[in-house]
Amino acid sequence: MHQHQHLHHEMQEARYRETRLAALVGAVVNLILAFVKILFGWLGQSQSLLADGVHSLSDLLSDALVWFAARHAKEAPDEQHPYGHGRFETAGTVALGALLGLVGLGVIWDAVERLFAPEQLLTPSSFTLYIAAFSILANEGLYHYTQYLAQRINSNLLRANAWHHRSDSISSMVVLVGIGGTLAGLPYLDAIAAVLVGVMIVHIGWNLGWGAMQELVDAGLDEETVAEIRGIIDSVSGVNSIHMLRTRRMGGHASADVHVQVDSWLSVSEGHRIAEVVQMRLINEVEELFDVTVHIDPEDDEVNAPCSDLPLRQEAERLLDAACRDIACYARRQRLVLHYLSGRIDVDLYLPFDCYEGEEEMAQLRQAFQKAFNESDVFGKIRLWFGEPNLTKA
């Protein structure tokens, strides 16, 4: 398990390096684009190119947000964050979705204002067309590069940022069409197209932000993945059934906890071994899972817990002492195993060989113990074992 945690930490470090690189490349490109579009938008009297330059400035903020979120998400678990820091990435995705939504609304607002105030429309210079085309190519390159990294490290944050670059590319396309339409004598074309792009940007921001919000409120994995998890658990030898399977996402990974029902009379060590196999198979076979908690049940406790009010060993032994005090052989017991099943405590009682002489006396001894148990509302069945544990049973 320690090795698995070490590997997970190494994966988080790798995710951070890839995300930091994507943020750095994006920041450099957006800084250049912002400077070029604002400068030439002002010189070329293009309102749409100038606004697109301001849009690129907002991308610098998103790149800083990506870097900040990734820097915290890669940190190892600690006392305050026992499940790691993956939710920083999720929170960053929510913020990025909100930023996209605000930028989209800003584009819509500006376009609508220009539609109702045609006197504010200017005739841009033709060289602004080349600046818009350069912006399209640069943002498309950023989109494909960031999407490639997102797929490689399975990062929703990078996917969000990739779509942000795609929205910038579409925005620059609108600028290109708008400038071209204005130069061709269609001054309203720029504003109408800008409204459509603004709606697209808001839609992208909503989808990204809503998906991340679902993660923050611990929405489960998709049905297909949950079915895969169930199938893997059911295939493990010793598993009778499963219940109370819960899943949730944390950044680019997911965790699960599940109750596994096994044979009621298994040893603790065998039940633990089954849990280990379930845990490791899920982690190895389900790509998203990095943390799995397996609870072993001797019976189905999903609907109710019939044994929840039964006493623990110290109190149970006191009750046994009182119930069996008149049976002389009880004081010589060698071992006592308690089984909490169906609302009662079943007991395996180990006694020495010389507690009985012959089959008849052994039967009488067994009847005496069962009679004592029948008078109790705590204990159920008793099984007597004589000699060394697990060798001879009455």
Which residue do the tokens 């280990």 mark?
276
Instruction: Give, in words, the CATH class of 223-297.
Output: alpha beta
- CATH number 1.20.1510.10 is the correct assignment for the domain at 2-216: yes
Token reading at 96:
């990025």
Q: How far apart are CA 357 and CA 368, in angstroms?
A: 15
Mean pLDDT rounded to a whole number for the chain = 81
Residues of the chain with CATH 3.30.70.1350: 223-297, 313-393
pLDDT exceeds cutoff 70 at 103: yes
Interval 300-326: pLDDT, tens: 877 667 888 899 999 999 999 988 888
Closest listed residue to residue 156, CA positions, set 207, 89, 210: 89
Task: Confirm whether pTM is higher than 0.75.
Answer: no
CA angle, 275 then 280 then 282, to 5°:
95
Interval 17-74: pLDDT, tens: 777 788 788 888 888 988 998 899 888 877 678 777 777 776 676 667 666 666 665 6
Residues of the chain with CATH 1.20.1510.10: 2-216
Cβ atoms 292, 325 nearer than 8 A: no
Interval 262-308: pLDDT, tens: 998 898 999 999 999 999 999 888 877 888 999 999 888 776 678 88
Q: Report the 10 Å Cβ neighbour count for 263.
A: 12
Closest listed residue to residue 376, CA positions, set 343, 349, 353, 350: 343
Cβ atoms 237, 132 nearer than 8 A: no
- Tell me how far apart the terminal alpha carbons of the chain are, to the nearest angstrom: 42
Q: At what angle do helices 223-234 and 268-285 cross, to 10 degrees?
A: 140
Which residues, in sequence order, are bridge partners of residue 376?
A: none
**DSSP element (H, E) containing 245:** strand 241-250
Please report the pLDDT score of residue 281 as a whole number: 94
Interval 134-172: pLDDT, tens: 999 999 998 999 898 888 877 777 887 788 788 788 888
The residue among 121 and 341 whose pLDDT is bigger is 341
Pairing of strands 241-250, 253-261: antiparallel
Q: For the domain made up of 313-393, give the CATH fold.
A: Alpha-Beta Plaits (3.30.70)
Which residues, in sequence order, are bridge partners of residue 351?
A: 386
Token reading at 313:
């060993």
Backbone angles phi and psi of 52, in degrees to 5: -65, -30
Answer left, alpha or beta for residue 122, where phi above 0 means left and psi between -120 and 50 means alpha: beta
Q: How far apart are CA 8 and CA 14, in angstroms?
A: 10
The C-alpha R_g of the chain, in whole angstroms, comes to: 34
